[in-house]
Every structure is written in structure tokens, then in C-alpha cells.
């Protein structure tokens, strides 16, 4: 799918998945909430109650190495937090 890029599997999102049935995804920057809802429902077979999105801008980062200071930028991305219906769940580890 072009809309869902990858799931966010962090400690915080895992706790929200267990407690509140919320799951995080990195999504395409031009995707809207309706497209994200349809993509999650198709791919995982769950009922989506709400979608919250946020756009993270790029940041400048630098590090010191033997050859001097290297500086660069992190990429900007859009994140979606999807709340699924009670009783539904998404298992990201089933394909491992």
C-alpha cells in the first residue's frame, strides 16, 4: 500500500495498544484521515474508530567523528495514531 509506510513499534505505542487499542503508523505525507482509515481496515481487517495525525518536521543533527564534525538532516514524516474498536486488535508480530 502506498498510504501505510510502516508500523511504529515502540514501548510507548505497545502500551497504548494494550491499554487503549491505539496503534501507530508512519504514513504518506499527502494521505488524509479517510484514506488512512480505509487502508488500515483493508490491510488488518479491523474496525477503525478514530484517526489522529501529526506531521514531524526534519531536524538538523551533528556528531563528532575522527574526521571532524558531520552534520545532516533527519527526514520529515507524518504519523497516524489509529484507535480500533473494542475487541479488535492488530498483531504486528504475526509475520515473523
Q: What are the boundaries of each domain within the chain? A: 4-84
Q: Output the DSSP codes for the chain.
A: --SEEEEE--HHHHHHHHHH-EEEEEE-TT--HHHHHHHHHHHH---EEEEEEEEEPP-EEEEEETTEEEEEEPPPEEEEEEEEPTT----TTTT-
Average pLDDT over residues 87-96: 80
Decide if domain 4-84 falls under CATH 3.30.70.330: yes
Task: Give the pLDDT score at 93.
Answer: 76
What integer pLDDT is reported at residue 27 of this predicted model? 97
pTM (2 d.p.): 0.85
Average pLDDT of 6-11?
A: 94
13 within 8 A of 24, measured Cβ to Cβ: yes
Which residues are 27's β-sheet partners? Answer: 4, 78
| Residue indicated by cell numbers 498483531 | 91
Per-residue pLDDT of 42-78, as tens digits, reads 999 999 999 999 999 999 999 999 999 999 999 999 9
Average pLDDT over residues 12-21: 93
Amino acid at each position: 500500500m502506498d498510504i501505510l509506510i510502516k508500523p511504529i513499534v515502540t514501548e510507548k505505542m505497545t502500551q497504548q495498544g494494550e491499554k487503549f487499542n491505539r496503534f501507530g503508523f508512519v504514513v504518506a505525507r499527502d494521505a488524509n484521515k479517510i484514506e488512512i482509515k480505509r487502508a488500515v481496515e483493508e490491510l488488518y481487517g479491523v474496525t477503525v474508530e478514530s484517526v489522529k495525525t501529526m506531521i514531524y518536521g526534519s531536524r538538523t543533527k551533528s556528531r563528532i567523528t575522527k574526521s571532524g564534525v558531520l552534520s545532516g538532516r533527519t527526514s520529515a514524516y507524518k504519523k497516524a495514531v489509529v484507535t480500533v474498536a473494542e475487541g479488535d486488535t492488530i498483531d504486528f508480530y504475526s509475520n515473523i
